[in-house]
Chain A
């Protein structure tokens, strides 16, 4: 499965642009020439299918790429369609009003998109809650349409308004053109550096937050923009079909979109387009002859697909590409460069981290109590203690302002009370988790770029050729050999390589304080020595501060400048390496001093 091969020196980007350009030209030719050889029925159906395909793209960006399962795109579509039809019905029709309808059809869904996004995505919200909201929203919109009386036409909808003066062929070409444009836009975006952020959120949202990204805001922005695109599709539909009905806004239509996208292949752009056009076109042709059987087949296919081929038909095709075949790629990827520090260069006076009377309790059970501790730049503080002493809980309290139950934590003088992890990261804190927390379906280079996203805003259209990282991060990559695997997908790396990659990502944040939770767990002796060397260099030479949770007392003794002992939630000892290692307390806690 994983043969090693060397990437071709020619950058992929150029070849990809060529393929994309060719595809776009072919698609444009199809939609412009289509009316010459298609009959009226097919033109009609395909116009509708292509508009639905635009919707499928928006759904796919949310669900396939970002991992937000939503049924709400139908409602934004319906609102766009109704905004158009209502304006043209009740106010009148003129070129200016049609232009106004276009603006309304995009703006109103976007404003509602902000509201839906705000409701769905907040710190601590669950994926299923966003899905719940996306169910409620179309139901509310449909019921409002039903209760709208003559304003919305209630259950019979609106018909007979004068829209764009195009014929059947004109609407086919217009819809096709819009589809091609939206598809190209989406293809360019998902391959850009900013587009990778969506996949990163899907893979590991916690890690994104601890890389300083405000994932909630990203998701709200995405929802808002895609609501606008769905509204545009609604505008097209209202003009092309000449009728809008409550079903266009509904939850059932939302589920149909999900079915089409799933069958075509979520997480790709072309899959959902082909899935939607194919199934909608076939449905229109077959539903006359075998109406229920056809639905039955689609339903059964959908179930089988979700269980056995969750990435749809496109996943079958992807097996023929290099990434689909899971190969380790040596070389290739962007060029590593050393970038000058841009962040946190000025050092204020006083301690970097100041903890005072920190407390954490679950109900009446106290996990941490009365912890007071200062850490200065250049210190490497090891936090030791038996399992259940509260070490990981303490790390959590230092990186999430909503965790602790009492006391204060200041970082560079600033109280972190109530702050979300991404804001604490911005203060200069990097956290490495106990189990390597990386992005499994991204490449090594993309993971590192993600770590820089909060500092260097990524481009929405391009992939950068260079990957600028701080000196320390580049050294970690070189010492561990990851610099030669930049184009390899992370899921193919070994456990040790993932740990090193995560450390390099954390260092790329240019933190002043690094928190490491058992960075050497499960590593070989050689890997351990490498990581130890890196940590000593980061603190002693480069002035980082580090707090290390560690069980291996030999390792701790070798690298620490200071050791803090936690026992049953309390800080029992805080001193130099010699003081702590030779103390009676530590020997007692570690039952007879088997390690010391």
Chain B
């Protein structure tokens, strides 16, 4: 019972980590970054490179953030910027980009599964139940990311500008905010966070050129339901992640895999705003 509860909370935490970067971009830019999966993969391969160089595995985290942000800057400048007025085309262009990134990674590293050094291994004892230390660490990481993002949004100039753009972009521009720069920075933060999430995923899944795809749809659906609010994302991760764990445990893991997508679609059908009013 306790294991189930811990599974639900840590699954929600992992979903939150994986979706946060996508939400940052969608919330402010109203663009769905369909290359999200590719950025997770890029992050995971940063861990592979770090391990290959014999460096401390924790160094992969800052490395991935920087790599993700730099690549994100290029993407925003070259691919996303011409498409702000065509959001459906932006989905397609970023999907095309993910094909390119996936193939580049394949050409460089081969298509085989890569192994990475585990960041944290072993279990800890919680009220007599042995539980994976790493999953608990993921919970802490999700909290750090959540608090960090909240701090940026509520406590910095950039966050204030971003919130202004979320509420009324035309007015924000009329008031002299440099919306182009804010978009660029937001996109960089989003892709940086996503690559970081890719590193954090390495102990949990195998690393191969297509690993990101499996996470894309879940993250996409959660973000659609969350709108532009990180609080709503946390709620969605807890509810739908919980449902996924329960369905996987008691019914079938295969059906568990579609729980998030189906529930999100239904919630959006009933209320097009999803959980964004939370």
**Which A residues have a C-beta under 8 Å from some C-beta of B?**
69, 119, 122, 124-129, 131-133, 135-136, 139-140, 143, 146-147, 251-252, 255, 258-259, 262, 292-293, 295-296, 298-300, 302-303, 306-307, 310
- Does B115 touch A at the CB level, under 8 Å? no
- Does B206 touch A at the CB level, under 8 Å? no
- Does B158 touch A at the CB level, under 8 Å? no
User: Which 5 A-B pairs give the minimum distances between C-beta atoms?
Assistant: A299-B99, A302-B96, A303-B96, A296-B103, A299-B100
Give the Cβ gap from B39 to chain A, nearest Cβ, in Å.
15
Given A128-B87, A128-B88, A131-B88 in contact, is the A136-B96 Cβ separation under 8 Å? no
Query: A306, B93: Cβ atoms under 8 Å?
Result: yes
- Does B157 touch A at the CB level, under 8 Å? no
Say which residue of B82, B100, B107, B261 sits within 8 Å of A139 (CB atoms). B261
Give the Cβ gap from A48 to chain B, nearest Cβ, in Å.
21
- Does B153 touch A at the CB level, under 8 Å? no
Contacts of A251 in B (CB 8 A): 217
Contacts of A119 in B (CB 8 A): 265, 269
Residue of A nearest to B34 (CB): A255
Contacts of B88 in A (CB 8 A): 69, 127-128, 131
Contacts of B255 in A (CB 8 A): 143, 147
Give the Cβ gap from B22 to chain A, nearest Cβ, in Å.
14
B: interface residue count bin? 35 or more
Give the Cβ gap from A192 to chain B, nearest Cβ, in Å.
26
CA gap between A125 and B272 in the complex, in Å: 7
Residue of B nearest to A127 (CB): B88
- Does B220 touch A at the CB level, under 8 Å? yes
Say which residue of A131, A135, A139, A147 sits within 8 Å of B252 (CB atoms). A147
Query: B220, A135: Cβ atoms under 8 Å?
Result: yes
Contacts of B95 in A (CB 8 A): 255
Contacts of B93 in A (CB 8 A): 302-303, 306-307
Query: B100, A310: Cβ atoms under 8 Å?
Result: no
Query: A292, B262: Cβ atoms under 8 Å?
Result: no
- Interface contacts beyond A132-B221, A293-B107: sample of 6 additional A-B pairs, CB < 8 Å, sorted by A: A124-B272, A132-B224, A147-B252, A296-B103, A302-B99, A307-B79
Give the Cβ gap from A273 to chain B, nearest Cβ, in Å.
20
CA gap between A298 and B95 in the complex, in Å: 12
Given A128-B87, A296-B103, A310-B86 in contact, is the A147-B254 Cβ separation under 8 Å? yes
CA gap between A590 and B41 in the complex, in Å: 63
Give the Cβ gap from A490 to chain B, nearest Cβ, in Å.
20
Query: B89, A310: Cβ atoms under 8 Å?
Result: yes
- Does B40 touch A at the CB level, under 8 Å? no
Residue of B nearest to A119 (CB): B269
- Does B145 touch A at the CB level, under 8 Å? no
Residue of B nearest to A146 (CB): B254
Given A147-B254, A262-B92, A293-B103 in contact, is the A299-B97 Cβ separation under 8 Å? yes
Query: A69, B91: Cβ atoms under 8 Å?
Result: yes
Given A69-B88, A303-B97 in contact, is the A139-B217 Cβ separation under 8 Å? yes
Interface mask (B251-278 → A, CB under 8 Å = 1, otherwise 0): 0101101100110110011001000000
- Does B120 touch A at the CB level, under 8 Å? no
CA gap between A125 and B82 in the complex, in Å: 26
Residue of A nearest to B106 (CB): A292
- Does B32 touch A at the CB level, under 8 Å? yes
Contacts of A296 in B (CB 8 A): 99-100, 103-104, 107
CA gap between A124 and B268 in the complex, in Å: 12
Contacts of B82 in A (CB 8 A): 307
- Does B83 touch A at the CB level, under 8 Å? yes
Q: DSSP class of B's interface residues: helix, strand, loop or mixed? A: helix
CA gap between A252 and B95 in the complex, in Å: 11
Select the residue from A69, A140, A307 with max chain B CB neighbours within 10 A: A307
CA gap between A133 and B265 in the complex, in Å: 7
CA gap between A303 and B86 in the complex, in Å: 14
Interface mask (B217-230 → A, CB under 8 Å = 1, otherwise 0): 10011001000000
Contacts of B96 in A (CB 8 A): 259, 299-300, 302-303, 306
Query: B91, A131: Cβ atoms under 8 Å?
Result: yes
CA gap between A131 and B265 in the complex, in Å: 11
Contacts of B220 in A (CB 8 A): 132, 135
Residue of B nearest to A147 (CB): B254
Residue of A nearest to B111 (CB): A292
Given A140-B262, A147-B255 in contact, is the A132-B268 Cβ separation under 8 Å? yes
Residue of A nearest to B254 (CB): A147
Give the Cβ gap from B216 to chain A, nearest Cβ, in Å.
9
CA gap between A74 and B113 in the complex, in Å: 28
Query: B92, A306: Cβ atoms under 8 Å?
Result: yes
Contacts of A259 in B (CB 8 A): 96
Contacts of A292 in B (CB 8 A): 103, 106-107, 111
Contacts of B254 in A (CB 8 A): 143, 146-147
Query: B99, A307: Cβ atoms under 8 Å?
Result: no
CA gap between A465 and B254 in the complex, in Å: 57
Say which residue of A129, A143, A146, A300 sits within 8 Å of B268 (CB atoms). A129
Given A146-B254, A302-B99, A303-B79 in contact, is the A258-B92 Cβ separation under 8 Å? yes
Given A69-B88, A125-B272, A262-B92 in contact, is the A303-B100 Cβ separation under 8 Å? yes
Q: List 22 A-B contacts (CB under 8 A).
A: A125-B272, A126-B272, A128-B88, A132-B268, A135-B217, A136-B258, A136-B264, A143-B257, A146-B254, A147-B254, A252-B213, A255-B95, A292-B103, A292-B106, A292-B107, A295-B99, A295-B102, A299-B98, A302-B92, A302-B99, A303-B96, A307-B89
CA gap between A259 and B98 in the complex, in Å: 13
Contacts of B264 in A (CB 8 A): 132, 136
CA gap between A146 and B265 in the complex, in Å: 21
Residue of A nearest to B252 (CB): A147
Give the Cβ gap from B50 to chain A, nearest Cβ, in Å.
24
CA gap between A302 and B254 in the complex, in Å: 32
CA gap between A429 and B98 in the complex, in Å: 49
Contacts of A293 in B (CB 8 A): 103, 107
Query: B265, A132: Cβ atoms under 8 Å?
Result: yes
Contacts of B102 in A (CB 8 A): 295, 299
Contacts of B268 in A (CB 8 A): 129, 132
Give the Cβ gap from B49 to chain A, nearest Cβ, in Å.
19
CA gap between A524 and B254 in the complex, in Å: 66
CA gap between A119 and B262 in the complex, in Å: 12
Interface mask (B110-151 → A, CB under 8 Å = 1, otherwise 0): 010000000000000000000000000000000000000000
